[in-house]
Amino acid sequence: MTAKVQPAVVVVAEYAWRLLVIGAAAVALLWLTAKLLVVVVPLAVAALLTRALWPVRSRLGRAGLHAGLAAGVTLIGFIVVLVAAMALVGVAVAGELGELGPTVREGFDDVATWLADDSPFDVSRADIDRWEQQADDAISNFVRSSDDSIVTGARLAAEVTVGAVLSLIVTFFFLKDGPRMTAAALRAVPEQHRSAATRAGVRAWEATGGFLRGAALLGIVEAIAIGVTLLLVGSKLVAPVMLITFIAAFVPIVGAIAAAVIAVLVALATAGTVPALIVAGVALVVQQLDNDVLAPVIYGKALQLHPLAILLGIAAGGALFGLVGTVFAVPLVAVTLGVAAELRTPKPYLDTSGRDP
């Protein structure tokens, strides 16, 4: 006699094999992405650059410039501004950036000495050495390449150079032919899904722009606040710390915490304990103001992410792709969640002609 299978078991089994297929496809996609990082990263950088430069490219197009000429002028202008900014930053941090690492190390040693000798915690020097070794190992693993070999300085420089050139080339073509590429992609979508695809693309575009604007503005606010505080307490290496604070803002929460730790250690090593505590307090206040007041206003509806989603995204990106995954995790999460939210809300059909905005 054949036993009757319960309906609940049938339903679970049907879901299970479908989830297995989806999981296998996801694993295959992640594996392929890891193998093609040399292509995926320049494409991601080009997408972010295109989003940042598109207002200029669009304005030049409306002024009558041919698409290719408008894209070329926009990209060349960006390169000129970038080189000029790097030169100004180089002048500001000249002679100081090289001191940053030893100074942070000195501040860390001061904290380690206090923990081992004067703190109320049961911590020995051997414990601190073991934690330091574990941190060094974790950092080494974090910057390993996909073939599990440590990235050497020469190899890293070569990969960065090639990636930067490829990113600029792809950015030019995105700026030049972006509308036509979008229209061609939409034509490949079935008619009944074209409106949803268009809305998803618009939401992704808005989310990317919101992330770039918000991160840049918050980075400026945080860098100025920390820099002024370091100056007032008499700390050194103000310019390098401000630069790191601004860059770290593009990795929300985690980057801000890392930049604040560096600022506190620099203040501890160059100004003393009380100034370091003042810097820590200011950093904490600035973070709270950014998270509770400034971020919702600056990012707006284009980028509404719960801190838990940000942390999980950064952790997953770092675990899967190391430093690269950490950098691109937040914009990817923002785009994914934004698109998902948009698709859940039916709206009227949007223009899919691919005309230049």
- Residue 357 is predicted with a pLDDT of 46
pLDDT, residue 150, reads: 47
> Would you tell me the crossing angle of helices 254-270 and 97-117 to the nearest 10 degrees?
80
| The pLDDT of residue 10 | 79
Residue 99 vs residue 242, higher pLDDT: 242
Report the 10 Å Cβ neighbour count for 203.
21
Q: 241 CB contacts (<8 Å, ≥6 apart)?
A: 100, 226, 227, 230, 259, 262, 263, 266
Indicate whether 224 pLDDT > 70: yes
Q: Tell me how far apart the alpha carbons of residues 218 and 51 are, in angstroms, rounded to a whole number.
A: 18
b/e burial code for range 308-328 (CB count within 10 A of at least 16 → b) = eebeebbeebbeebbebbbbb
Is the per-residue pLDDT at 151 higher than 60?
no
pLDDT, mean over the chain? 81
Q: Are 217 and 297 in contact (CB under 8 A)?
A: no
The rounded Cα 58 to chain-centroid distance in angstroms is 25
Question: Do 241 and 227 form a contact (C-beta atoms < 8 A)?
Answer: yes
- Rg, Å, the chain Cα set: 24
Mean pLDDT of 226-243: 90
pLDDT of residue 226: 92
Q: For residue range 3-39, list pLDDT tens digits in order.
A: 676 778 878 888 888 889 999 998 898 888 888 888 8
Whether 231 shows a pLDDT value over 70: the answer reads yes
Task: State pLDDT tens for residues 68-113.
Answer: 999 999 999 999 998 888 887 777 676 666 777 788 888 888 778 7
Q: Is 80 helix (H, G, I), strand (E, B) or coil?
A: helix
Give the mean pLDDT of 324-331: 84
Structure tokens at 125: 């020097």
Q: CA 100 to CA 180: how far, in whole Å?
A: 47
Query: Which pTM was predicted?
Result: 0.76
DSSP state for residue 257 in the 8-state scheme: H
Contacts of 193-200 with C-beta under 8 Å, sequence gap 24+, read 194/349, 194/352, 195/347, 195/348, 195/349, 195/350, 195/352, 196/343, 198/349, 198/350, 198/351, 198/352, 199/342, 199/343, 199/347, 199/350, 200/339, 200/342, 200/343
pLDDT, one tens digit per residue, over 248-276 is 888 877 888 889 999 999 898 888 888 88
Return the pLDDT at 169.
93
Question: For the chain, what percent of residues have pLDDT higher than 70?
Answer: 84
- Report the C-alpha dihedral over residues 85, 79, 248, 46, rounded to 10 degrees: 170
